[in-house]
Amino acid sequence: MKKSEKNPKKHYLLSRTGILTALFSCAAAVILGGCAGKAKTPVDTTVHLGVMYSSDIVPLTIITEQGLDKKYGFQLDMQVFSSAKDRDAALQAGKLDGVFTDFIGLCMYQNAGLDVKATGCTDGDYVLLAGKDTGITSLENAAGKSIAISENTLIEYSLDYILSNAGLDDTYLDKQVVPRIPDRLEMLRNGKIDLVLLPEPFSTLAIKDGAVILGSANTDGLYPAVSAFTKKAIDEKSDPIKKMYQAYDEAVDYLNNTPLTEYEATVIKAAGYPEELTGNIELPVYRKNELPKAADLQAAVEWAAKKGLCSPDLKPEQLNGELK
């Protein structure tokens, strides 16, 4: 056989070697994830958070406006609801991972069999106001006066807390149940009610109209607003939720160290403040994220249990959620 002719045996061995190499490569690929295998399921890094218009969502607006979610490697899906009922329905339907809520809301979720736990505090305040023509300038001269509230909610809890701090009982004022916040504000403006307890931006609107500040939950040491997530979300999305709080803390640093004029347009656009408040908005000094104190949660549980909103056996540790 001439040298230029191919050796069939050698050709066979080479072919066999190639086949074996391919088979070993495929086996290795199967072990590591599949030979021409399926792509890994992408990790869901989107945090779906339900909120309502208030001053405590301002840090979230900064996160989205400045792209801090992308910086920290998650995506913030902030969904704004016009009512707590709609927000809670979305949470129960599994469309949300978490919500901005409050101590009383946590108690009610647990009572309804929905395992939602606080993973942080927010800075929502509830301001006690008297109508401009009532002549009321302090709680001391407000005995028996009418106040518009929503019953068995954080608003009533905050009012009772403020009254208790002043050495007064929960019957000191004439509570009138008015479920919708805009209706309470309108009644105060029209002189149909003497007092209200309002969150932002409604409290600022009332003050702009001449309402008199008598106190607030925050000035009395009560910070009852929280960010909270379902146990399922805490178990499955612990990493993106932790990243959300890292972004939140950076947003807080920005808010506390930057003149409001530089981001007021963002606040008005995204946090529910009307254009007419431009130049009149006052924001709190925001706190970096921390868990609610056990004593504060216990006090809320005791109040809610008396109202029949939860079991008296509910423990503060059942309402707080540690991120892994």
Residue type, 42: P
In the predicted model, is pLDDT for residue 63 greater than 80? yes
Report d(CA 242, CA 324) in Å as an integer: 9
pLDDT band at residue 264 using 50, 70 and 90 as cut-offs: very high
Higher-confidence residue of 196 and 30: namely: 196
Report d(CA 207, CA 194) in Å as an integer: 14
Report d(CA 104, CA 225) in Å as an integer: 9
In the predicted model, is pLDDT for residue 197 greater than 70? yes
> What range does the domain containing 146 cover?
126-220
Full DSSP string of 283-303 = ---PPPP-PPPHHHHHHHHHH
The answer to whether residue 12 sits within a structural domain is no
Backbone dihedral angles phi then psi of residue 107, each to the nearest 5 degrees:
-60, -40
Full DSSP string of 85-150 = HHHHHHHHTTS-SEEEEEHHHHHHHHHTT--EEEEEE----EEEEE-TTS---SGGG-TT-EEEE-
Q: Is the peptide bond before 201 cis (omega within 30 degrees of 0)?
A: yes
What pLDDT does 124 receive? 87
Report d(CA 252, CA 42) in Å as an integer: 30
pLDDT band at residue 322 using 50, 70 and 90 as cut-offs: confident
The answer to whether residue 20 sits within a structural domain is no
* Closest listed residue to residue 156, CA positions, set 133, 137, 128: 128
* Closest listed residue to residue 284, CA positions, set 167, 170, 122, 162: 122
Q: Which residues pair with 176 in a beta bridge?
A: 148
- Residue at which a domain ends, from 177, 203, 220: 220
| Tokens found for residue 89 | 């329905």
Domain CATH for 231: 3.40.190.10
Q: Is the dihedral of CA 95, 267, 247, 119 positive or negative?
A: negative
The answer to whether residue 13 sits within a structural domain is no
- Residue at which a domain ends, from 169, 188, 220: 220
Residue type, 311: S
Report d(CA 127, CA 149) in Å as an integer: 12
* Closest listed residue to residue 127, CA positions, set 206, 215, 53, 222: 215
The answer to whether residue 109 sits within a structural domain is yes
Q: Are residues 136 and 116 located together in one domain of the fold?
A: no
Number of domains in the chain: 2
| Tokens found for residue 271 | 């946090």
**CB contact at 8 A, 96 and 68:** no
Compute the residue count for the chain. Answer: 324
Higher-confidence residue of 33 and 239: namely: 239
Q: Are residues 216 and 239 located together in one domain of the fold?
A: no
The CA-based diameter of the chain, rounded to the nearest angstrom, is 121
Q: What is the mean pLDDT of the chain?
A: 88
- Residue at which a domain ends, from 163, 195, 220: 220
**CB contact at 8 A, 213 and 127:** yes
Report d(CA 30, CA 44) in Å as an integer: 24
Residue type, 133: D
Q: Are residues 237 and 91 located together in one domain of the fold?
A: yes
Report d(CA 235, CA 279) in Å as an integer: 43
Q: Are residues 214 and 247 located together in one domain of the fold?
A: no
Give the pLDDT mean for 202-217.
94
The model's pTM is: 0.83
What pLDDT does 82 receive? 83
